[in-house]
Amino acid sequence: MTATRPTIWHRVYAIIVPYRARLVVSMVTLLFLTCLGLWSPWWSAKLIGGALTATIKDGVVTEGLDRNLFLVCVGALFAIHITSSLFGFLYSYQMRTLGGRVIFDLRRRMYDHLQRLSLGFYESRSSGEIISRMMNDVNSITSLVTGTALNALISSFKAIAILAWLIYDTPRVAMVAVAILPLHFIGYFFFNSRISHVHWKRSEKMSQIYGKVSEVLSAMKMV
């Protein structure tokens, strides 16, 4: 029986397994920050629509102020801001630490793997392509693990939460949001292939640049 090759997701999972606890902490922190971000507009609306009031009597506008509600709203917004700053610092620290360690592990594994490859591999590929994979591909995978995947999950949760609140509070606005949503998917499928092609061309150009830089710096420029 032949062993099946692991997919890219299995390989990514194998990379983040040693740091799964730190990744879970980062995910929970980001989820908490998202919830705080959803609460802030509610308190702002409460402040403007409830604490700061105005009445019109005999054509004269009289400004009013609910002092207790005003202090509660300002205190809540201040607490949300301070808490968001603290947890934002914790999230940034976790992500920078996780990203640095993932990059270190990936480049170390790739270097060890390159040392075991045959000479035929290096004859069939330019030095620029190898350097490009060492630099750009590692950074792309690290960005996927520490940024893109988490942000996609949190953005999905945030969109569902906001849509649920709109359906409960203002169904008409929710209907407008749902009606516009298909345009996003149309744009995604329309531009996805073009963006992929441009990204591939960029990778090829970067490989050529890395190759020329490597030849010049190593005093082995081909004539």
DSSP annotation string for 147-166: IIHHHHHHHHHHHHHHHHHH
The residue range of the domain holding 152 is: 8-217
What is residue 86's predicted lDDT score, i.e. its pLDDT? 92
DSSP label of 133: I
Residue 136, in any domain of the structure: yes
Residue 222, in any domain of the structure: no
Burial of residue 88, with CB atoms counted within 10 A of its CB: 0-12 exposed, 13-18 middle, 19 or more buried? middle
Residue 13, in any domain of the structure: yes
Residue 60, in any domain of the structure: yes
pLDDT truncated to tens, each residue of the chain (223 aa)?
Answer: 444 556 667 777 777 788 888 888 888 888 888 888 888 888 888 888 777 765 555 555 456 667 788 888 889 899 999 999 999 898 888 888 887 888 888 888 888 888 888 888 877 777 777 777 777 777 777 777 777 777 777 788 888 888 888 888 788 888 888 888 888 788 878 888 788 778 778 777 777 777 777 666 665 545 4
Residue 18, in any domain of the structure: yes
Residue 128, in any domain of the structure: yes
How many domains in the chain?
1
Residue 2, in any domain of the structure: no
Full-model pTM: 0.66
What is residue 63's predicted lDDT score, i.e. its pLDDT? 61
d(CA 152, CA 131): 29
* Helix 67-115 vs helix 20-46: crossing angle, to nearest 10: 160
Residue 166, in any domain of the structure: yes
Q: What does the block give as tokens for 167?
A: 């359906």
Nearest to 34 by CA among 135, 130, 128, 158: 158
Residue 45 sits in a domain whose CATH number is: 1.20.1560.10
What is residue 1's predicted lDDT score, i.e. its pLDDT? 43
With contact defined as beta carbons under 8 Å apart, do 52 and 72 qualify? no
